Amino acid sequence: MSLMVYDLAISKVPLRCLYSYKSQEKLEPGERVIVDLHGRKTIGYVVKVSDKPASRELKEILQRLDRVSYLDQSDVEALESISERFFSPPGLLFDLAFPSFIDDYAETVVESLTPLVGFESLPLGEFIKKYGHAALKNQLDKRYIQLKKCFGRKTPRPRVSKWYVVVRNGLKALTRVHDEIEYDVISFLLTNGYATVEQLIESVGVSTKKIKQMQQEGLIELTQFLPVNTENLELAEAQLEPAPRGVTVLSGSTIGERLRSVIAFMKKITDENKSVLILVPFTSLTYMVAGFIRKFLNVTVQVYHARMSRSQRAKVWLDSVGDKTQVVVGTRVAAFLPMRNLGLIVTEESDDDAYYQFEDPVYDALELAETRARLRDIPFVICSSEPRLIDFHRREHLKWLRIPKENLNSDVSIVDVRQSGSILSEDLVESVRKTISEERASVILVRRKGFAPYVVCFACNHVLMCPNCDVALSFHKSQNVFKCHQCGYVRKAQSECPNCGAKALYPKGVGTERVERLLKYHLPGARIVRLESEELEPFEVQEQFLKLQTNEIDVLIGSRIVLQGFGTDRVGLICILDYDGLLSQPDYNTRLRMFQTMRKIRSNFTSARILIQTFQPQDGFLRDVFTVNSEDFYLEELKKRKEVNYPPFCDLVQVILESDLPQTGWELVNYCVRSLQGETVLGPVEHPIFKMAGKYRYHFLIKTKDLRKTLSKFNDVLMKIGKMGWRVFVNPPRLW
């Protein structure tokens, strides 16, 4: 065969380009190979046949690693497209689709290329033991044999930190018990809804051997997914069915009802032996959605997110590249899963910022998912309480479905706290007390985590700052530390002011820990829980929401994670403490984000009173946000953006330069802007957080109608002045 040239994405290389190599063999798109890059052997991914001619200067591919591709050609094209659109290193994107720890579960095999060697296939270790290293090298050089990595011979055995035990078939399980201990186990589970294995052993006295036996008999089930309350969510006859291909936008109501609306369609997909990928913004939400799906679909359901162990992720990955029909619920990293028989992609809470990755490699998981669906010609369903602005803008080209919701709550109280002497107004405390007396729950939404967002000295007014960033240190009382939420700097809390020496440091502002402490003071008998995703395992967050449903929690406090629960009918009050802080973010998407958040609250907590504390009670946006028609709001927002040429009427590129020296950075960023002739550029200016992690930052914005041309021009500038320290974000949901 004549020499062919291939363009490769190189693993772990943070450069935004493909590398060309030649080979005498025909290679598949997505296949992994070994190449020499600057004198070291590394893994490359075949992206496409290059249009470059073969020449002496091009290095030859050293080895085919898998000899097959585990990535579908359409997924390879999608990753290349996302790399170009988001100015991201292609090798790092391919690494997310094919994580390196997968090789821990592969076995290298020696395969025969000629009958002369006397075998068809042998494990590498067995070949070396039988013939030796010299024979291996000799026969490889003569092309009598080839090496190949095979998956499936080693099976990941992930350890689950906590198993929940639930009853199968509800009350019917009591008719199938064989002895008294089984009756006690089923009765305990029916009464409590679920239990951990440890709780069953301690409360009922059952042995682990008996639990395994009951599982084999089909009486109970061990699961990571707690049963979601679906009493009022039985599958209806009439379903809102998405388009058989293309994009469908499904908006309105709650997560549960939106999922229910497409679940019959999901069943059609799995009945055709195809798999379904469901994307959600938070790790804790993966378990709740997975538990919901399991109530209706008799199919394997797995979760996939970055906080799982390597063996847990490896198991899901290996199942995905096989022929196994399943539903995978995951966060943005799951958008890279190479599911071979993928038949449907669904995204939930699509308006959330968490789908955008701000660290290298930068990407938007929603755009990747939509690109994969389009190239595979499979349906893509976008779900949220209120649609994304870009989806509303292109609504004439999409299938549009909206779930009507009757009797939306309009009981909204605006509390003026300008004269209040406390973080918690009297109205708020009394409203929570009244809600508890009604045997209902309250949810408190707080923007900041920790005890207080900043610490100030009463003697000299000095604010404690991070030594690496231009941001105040927050105080976390539970850990007794000062912490920077930008760079991760932590130090032990102190009372002495580093500026004047007085023991007068005092925490200021509103944080989740502080709200919890104050509420426990005002309501000493209340069952108050603070929900922090960093302090709990993701699957444990679902426990708190289940306790909220089952009358075990009176008040749930947290940041936006508290808006993600299922079955919120028991919630009688939701309080928004820091409305002014939410609305004062210096970002062009702030109003839109606030509108979507407020409407999500109204949709999720339909029977709850809403109380908002604010220093701006006459604010027009606050007055209208719960009553304005969604379509009118989006039309007005589009009108304003068209006048000033902001997305979706252009692509917006934020460029940030991080420099060790402020003067050097200022000169470089100005030279870069001057070099971008013909582009519409805003800036450069100092970044709002000028110093971060020891680097000085400048930024500017580019508005463009031709993103590819603009990024190419910007790349040419970087080739002249150097690529170190530059960060690029295309259409970020918020300015970084």
Per-residue pLDDT, 238: 41
Torsion on CA atoms 254, 258, 259, 262, rounded to nearest 10: 170
Cis before 53? omega within 30: no
Per-residue pLDDT, 621: 84
Q: Is 329:294 a contact under the CB 8 Å cutoff?
A: no
Q: Is 576:610 a contact under the CB 8 Å cutoff?
A: yes
Give the span between the Cα atoms of 82 and 356, in whole angstroms: 12
Per-residue pLDDT, 120: 81
Rg of the chain over CA atoms, in angstroms? 29
Per-residue pLDDT, 168: 81
CA 365 to chain centre: 8
Q: Is 135:118 a contact under the CB 8 Å cutoff?
A: no
**Residue 280 backbone phi and psi in degrees, to 5:** -130, 160
Write the burial class of residue 534 (CB in 10 Å: 0-12 exposed, 13-18 middle, 19+ buried): exposed
Helix (H), strand (E) counts: the chain: 21, 35
Give the span between the Cα atoms of 573 and 407, in whole angstroms: 16
**Geometric angle at alpha carbon 368, from 592 and 344, rounded to 5°:** 100
State the alpha helices, DSSP H only, in 230-364: 255-271, 283-296, 310-321
Q: Where are the beta strands (DSSP E) in 458-497?
A: 474-476, 481-483, 490-492
Low-confidence ranges of the chain (pLDDT < 70): 1, 152-153, 160-161, 227-240, 405-410, 535, 565, 567, 584
Q: Is 576:413 a contact under the CB 8 Å cutoff?
A: no
Give the three-class secondary structure for 564.
coil
Give the span between the Cα atoms of 351 and 362, in whole angstroms: 18
Per-residue pLDDT, 519: 94
Give the span between the Cα atoms of 423 and 428, in whole angstroms: 10
Write the burial class of residue 359 (CB in 10 Å: 0-12 exposed, 13-18 middle, 19+ buried): exposed
**Residue 412 backbone phi and psi in degrees, to 5:** -115, 130
Q: Is 610:409 a contact under the CB 8 Å cutoff?
A: yes
Q: Is 166:194 a contact under the CB 8 Å cutoff?
A: yes
Residue with tokens 């809470």, as numbered in its chain: 349
Per-residue pLDDT, 658: 95
Per-residue pLDDT, 19: 95
Q: How many C-beta atoms lie closer than 10 Å to residue 242's C-beta? A: 24
Give the span between the Cα atoms of 498 and 253, in whole angstroms: 51
Which strand (E) or helix (H) includes residue 277? strand 275-279
**Residue 632 backbone phi and psi in degrees, to 5:** -65, -40
**Which one, of 434, 422, 588, 433, lies nearest residue 518 by Cα?**
422
Which strand (E) or helix (H) includes residue 326? strand 326-330
User: Residue 435 corresponds to which tokens in the numbers above?
Assistant: 């809600």
**How does strand 441-445 pair with strand 555-558?**
parallel
Give the span between the Cα atoms of 577 and 445, in whole angstroms: 6
**Which one, of 510, 519, 522, 622, lies nearest residue 577 by Cα?**
510
Per-residue pLDDT, 233: 46
